[in-house]
Structure 1
Amino acid sequence: MTRSEADHSVFYCHSTFSKCVYLVVYVDDIVITGNDDIKIFHLKQFLFIHFQTKDLDHLKYFLDIEVAQSKEGIVISQRKYALDILQETSMSNCRPVDSPMDSNMKLMVKHGEPYSDPGRYRRYRRLVELIYLTMTRPRPDISFAVGVVIQFMQEAPCVDHWAIVLRILRYIKKTLGHRVYYMRIREIPLYQVIVMLIGRSTIGFCILIGGNVVSWKSKKQNTVARSSADGKYWVMTSATCELIWEKLLAKEISIEFVNSSNQLADIFTKSLRGPSIQVICSKLGAYNLYALA
């Protein structure tokens, strides 16, 4: 298999007849996917021989993310992990709220009464790290709120900072059913990038492919923009870098845009209009011999 230059944790193998196999590895967790069943079987056998591995069949759980597959698409969520965090923090029976953070709340370094219990500070730090490192991946709705409270981890957090963390947990309790849905698409359209400047120095953007969000970011900049124009340039630069990486990876693993007029298999799967039938038939080499004469 070939190692991806864009992402060294991704390996791929392309063969004839549009067959492909992809392998994604993270520490000791591996995901194998593709449409070449024979190569997938041989790859599994190779791993069994050279490493102590276990086949868990269809992907259902990866890096604390639950995966559900169907003919219509793929759904990812973290319901189980969210329930574990709520139970660990004794927030299973908390009162749910509709938002992870009060829109009028403006936090500062010294905001409210400081902590006097070092153990509580360690609990605060660990909890914020858990939410930030894991739950922001399939939960774009809490990315901004978590990004705000994590800014105060280096300094001594205050009571108001802890209140925001508890509010995030209450929001998670309210939205346990939230999931990210990736619908199945027959053709890959152009990338769609949505960018936004939040406040003076926080940027946010998301990247969609075929209506499916594949990347998002909410981050506070190290410096404050001197004007809204500077801030827009920052977010455009950050989004462009991410988009370039996404396109390099997609090109490397041969995910390319295929116009509907070039989808030759459409003639076998759905009813088409006359002109479309003629175009596809000509590409398949099926001609009206009488018309040629």
Structure 2
Amino acid sequence: MTRSSQDYSLFFRHKEGRRIILVVYVDDIIITGDDSSGVVELKRFLQSQFQITDLGRLRYFLGIEVSRSPQGILLSQRKYVLDMLSECGLLGCKPVESPMLATTKLLPKDGNPLKDPERYRRLVGKLMTLAYFYMVVGLMLRLDPLDRFYSLSSCANPLTFPPFAALRVLRYLKATPGLGILYSDQGHCRVGAFTEEGYGKISGFSDADWAGCPISRRSTTGYCVFVGGNLVSWKSKKQHTLSRSSAESEYRAMADVSCEMTWIKRLLRELGVVTDNLTRLYCDSQSAIHIAKNQVFHERTKHIEVDCHLVRDHVVGTKSNPPSIQPIHIRTENQLADILTKPLRKSQIDFICNKLGMINIYAPT
């Protein structure tokens, strides 16, 4: 097996046109590939070297449930959500349609000190763990208020107002415990239901909520990356520095997703999955796209010079490397990364979740 240079927990082997992929997390291992005899041989070798148990086909891994059907593979965290609701005594609570009201602004001085801050810290820790996979938690909490949740939980006297927001998230999870991401062979390179034909198999969406934090006025970056129409990577995080314009915040988001798409492309190339085709980056900021394509605009944005050069090298190309990313403007209502930067209403939540490939197999028909 060869260790991947892009991810040190990933090992692979190519032999006679077939491949084996092995992923390690502490003492848990996933093995997959199209070389059946090689997989059996690898399991036999591991059993001769270590005391391991073969659990058969993947069903549960690190709190993630794996369900299979003719349509594809669904990943969800239904059991984790139900256990969390049970621990909080909210299995019988009334569900709500969205995890956060669009008009809500969380401030650190709102509310009174909690009598039992430890319980709140445990709840926020579970939500943080859930947010790593369960995108719908991170999305409407924006991980901007969630960052404040976490910082407040580390204080000596967390306040009463943020726990009400956290409880609203739990009430939303009560309505959607089985919501997960479906991975299927869609047979095309398009993203979601868009009619534009893509040039490559990798596509991404980037967005930023300019000066969205009412305390620090830092913007929130949100992006999601698709491979073959399936969502494989996403992020929602407050930017490290202030942005003096919305174009600057959007451009920082473009730089982040460009790095992520480049990393995914290198990883897949190492596994022999994709070729050197253009990747599509959808952004709803015309200014940011013009900056990426036209070097003249860079004189006005020297304060983001590093990000400008990074994105430009991928969009325009250099003497040694051809262009690898094609930025495309998209209407705001079709911007899928919006769900990672701001609280939305139920209709927009349902629309974006559908385009992201999220379904609930436990929902009544």
- TM-score bracket for the superposition, by shorter chain length: 0.7 to 0.9
Structure with greater Cα Rg: 1
Question: Equivalent residues in 2 for 1:191-202 (5 A)?
Answer: 191-200=202-211, 201-202=219-220
Q: Match of 2:136, as an amino acid? A: D
1:138 corresponds to: 133
Is the Cα–Cα contact under 8 Å of residues 197 and 235 in structure 1 kept in the other structure?
Answer: yes
Identity, in percent, stands at 41
User: Which one scores higher on RCO, CA 8 angstroms, separation ≥ 6?
Assistant: 2
Secondary structure of 2:179 counterpart: coil
| Residues in 1 aligned to 2:256 and 2:181: alpha-carbon distance in whole angstroms | 23
Q: Deviations over 1:96-131 (max 9, x none)?
A: 00111111110112122222x2xx222212221222
Structure 1 unaligned segments of length 5 or more: list them: 260-293
Is the Cα–Cα contact under 8 Å of residues 73 and 184 in structure 2 kept in the other structure?
Answer: yes
1:174 is the counterpart of 2:175: yes
1:158/1:149 CA distance change after superposition, 3 Å: farther
| Residues in 2 aligned to 1:52 and 1:6: alpha-carbon distance in whole angstroms | 28
TM-aligned CA deviation for residue 257 of structure 1 = 4.8
| TM-score for both structures, normalised by structure 2 | 0.66
TM-aligned CA deviation for residue 137 of structure 1 = 3.5
Q: Match of 1:194, as an amino acid? A: F
| Residues in 2 aligned to 1:244 and 1:181: alpha-carbon distance in whole angstroms | 24
| Residues in 2 aligned to 1:85 and 1:146: alpha-carbon distance in whole angstroms | 21
Which one of the candidate residues 119, 122, 125 is aligned to 2:118? 122
Secondary structure of 1:23 counterpart: strand
Is the Cα–Cα contact under 8 Å of residues 83 and 92 in structure 1 kept in the other structure?
Answer: yes
| TM-score for both structures, normalised by structure 1 | 0.82
| Residues in 2 aligned to 1:152 and 1:61: alpha-carbon distance in whole angstroms | 29
1:275 corresponds to: none
Question: Equivalent residues in 2 for 1:62-211 (5 A)?
Answer: 62-115=61-114, 117=115, 120-133=116-129, 135-144=130-139, 145=141, 147=143, 148-155=145-152, 156=155, 157-186=158-187, 189-200=200-211, 201-211=219-229
1:211/1:95 CA distance change after superposition, 3 Å: same
| Residues in 1 aligned to 2:36 and 2:276: alpha-carbon distance in whole angstroms | 24
Q: Deviations over 1:257-285 (max 9, x none)?
A: 599xxxxxxxxxxxxxxxxxxxxxxxxxx
1:55 corresponds to: 54
- How many residue pairs are counted as aligned between the two chains? 254
TM-aligned CA deviation for residue 146 of structure 1 = 6.3
1:5 is the counterpart of 2:5: yes
TM-aligned CA deviation for residue 187 of structure 1 = 6.0
Is the Cα–Cα contact under 8 Å of residues 201 and 274 in structure 2 kept in the other structure?
Answer: no
